[in-house]
Amino acid sequence: MTTAWYVLRRFALLIVSLIVSSALVFLLLRLLPGDLAQAKLGIYGTPEALAQLRTEYGLDKSLPEQYVSWLSKAVRGDLGLSVLTGADITSELLGKATVTLPLIGIASVLAVLIAVPLGMLAALRFRKWDGVATSAVSQLGIAVPTFWIGVILITIFAVQSQIFPSGGFPYDGWSNFGEAMKSLVLPACTLALAQGAVLMRFARSATIDVIQQDYFRTARATGLSRAGALRVHGVRNALVPVVSVLGMQISTLIVGAIIVESVFALPGVGQMLLQDVNIRDYTKVQGTVAATTALVFVVSFLIDLVLGLLNPRMRQR
């Protein structure tokens, strides 16, 4: 299969996924009993006021028409206005993303830094106590709920020794860089530990894979020590599956971020989404969820593309 054909096919898949997932989100939120106009006006909803609001928000059109007009605006980055507050959804979402995206970014880097060395250790010393202990810790890490890790970190680093804040984010955001970073340390560590435990398993099995390869045996035969041979051949080979798994885990990372924001009261996308669910601001929930799933699909597209270009065998899947 040629590269161009692979890219084209994968791109078509991306477009269809985006259409299907956004339609799903749109339909789920529109199949509600009652409508948005009723929700906004409540007991003040005279028939005339309701009719006027419905025309204003295009609620009097058919569902497919509404979906197409919403989608065509969303593609251009306009997610519309909140029915309840009238605020611009896109700009609010972008504002909140300045907390959530750095959190996910820092956590991903930390997770790889934790997972790769520990995974290699667990693979190399699988019969020794420290290798077994590392594997056991990874098993525990997978089973521990993310919010529990957060609470334990708060207890140790915010309550008992007050090194980091137990939650919140500076009011003036990133213009107060030091404080902003400081308030992201514990949340990012929480997310990284939860994610790192999962990645460690992949790093471990990737390393075991490398150790069994002929080139590794040859490298050992030329006189390199196990650690030396692993430095030359192992790290890079163990990193490839870890990074691709990290890419596939982007949806888990986003869900993790929602949880972590809730534990640490961080004013990010996740917190906003939960609040909107509670006050039933459907247009905002719709916009946020659609944008988030779109991000998931675009990231997995990019990762597939990079992996496909690097490794021709991937293209045949």
Partner 1 sequence: MMRGNRTLTIGISLVAFSLMMFLLSFIWTPYDPLEINPELSLTSPSWSHWMGTDENGRDILSNIVLGSRATLITGVLAVVICMLLGVTIGIATAMSPKWVESPAIFGTDIVLALPTVLFAIVLAAVYGPSTYTAVFAIGIALSASVAQVTRREVNVILLADYVTAARASGSRNLRIVRTHVLPNLRASLFVQASGASAIAILAESTLSYLGLGTPPPDPSWGRMMASLQQYLIIDPIFPLWPGLAILITVLGFNLLGDGLREALDPTLRRDVE
User: Site residues (CB under 8 A) for partner 1?
Assistant: 13, 16-17, 20-21, 25, 28-29, 31-32, 123, 126, 139-140, 142-148, 151-152, 154-155, 159-160, 205, 208, 251-252, 254-255, 258-259, 262-263, 273-274, 276-278, 280, 282, 285, 289, 292-293, 296-297, 300
In angstroms, give the least distance from the CB of 177 to partner 1. Answer: 29
CB nearer to partner 1: pick between 180 and 265: 265
45 phi, psi to nearest 5 deg: -75, 80
What minimum distance in Å lies between the beta carbon of 111 and partner 1? 17
CB of 213 to partner 1, least distance (A): 14
Instruction: Tell me how far CA of residue 161 lies from CA of 155, 168, 180, in angstroms.
Output: 8, 18, 19
| Residue 277 Cβ vs partner 1, minimum distance, rounded to whole Å | 4
Q: Specify the residue, 31 or 221, whose C-beta has the smaller distance to partner 1.
A: 31
Which amino acid, residue 124? L
Residue 4 or 143: the one with the smaller Cβ distance to partner 1 is 143
Q: In angstroms, what is the minimal distance from the CB of 241 to partner 1? A: 15
Q: Is 310 exposed, middle or buried (0-12, 13-18, 19+ CB in 10 A)?
A: exposed
Alpha-carbon distance of 97 to 99, in angstroms, equals 5
Question: Can you state the percent helix, strand and coil of the chain, rounding each to 5?
Answer: 80, 0, 20
Rounded to 10°, the helix 235-248/177-211 angle is 120
Rounded-to-integer distance, Cα 139 and Cα 142, Å: 5
Nearer residue to partner 1 within complex by CB, 41 or 255: 255
CA distance 127 to 266: 42
* The dihedral formed by the CA atoms of 194, 198, 201 and 206, expressed in degrees to the nearest 10: -120
CB of 276 to partner 1, least distance (A): 8
Provide the CA 205 distance to its chain's centre, in angstroms.
24
* Least distance to partner 1, CB of residue 76, Å: 23
Is the CB of 5 or the CB of 177 nearer to partner 1? Answer: 5
Q: Which CB atom, from 37 or from 149, has the smaller least distance to partner 1? A: 149
Burial class of 197 by CB neighbour count within 10 A (0 to 12, 13 to 18, 19+): buried
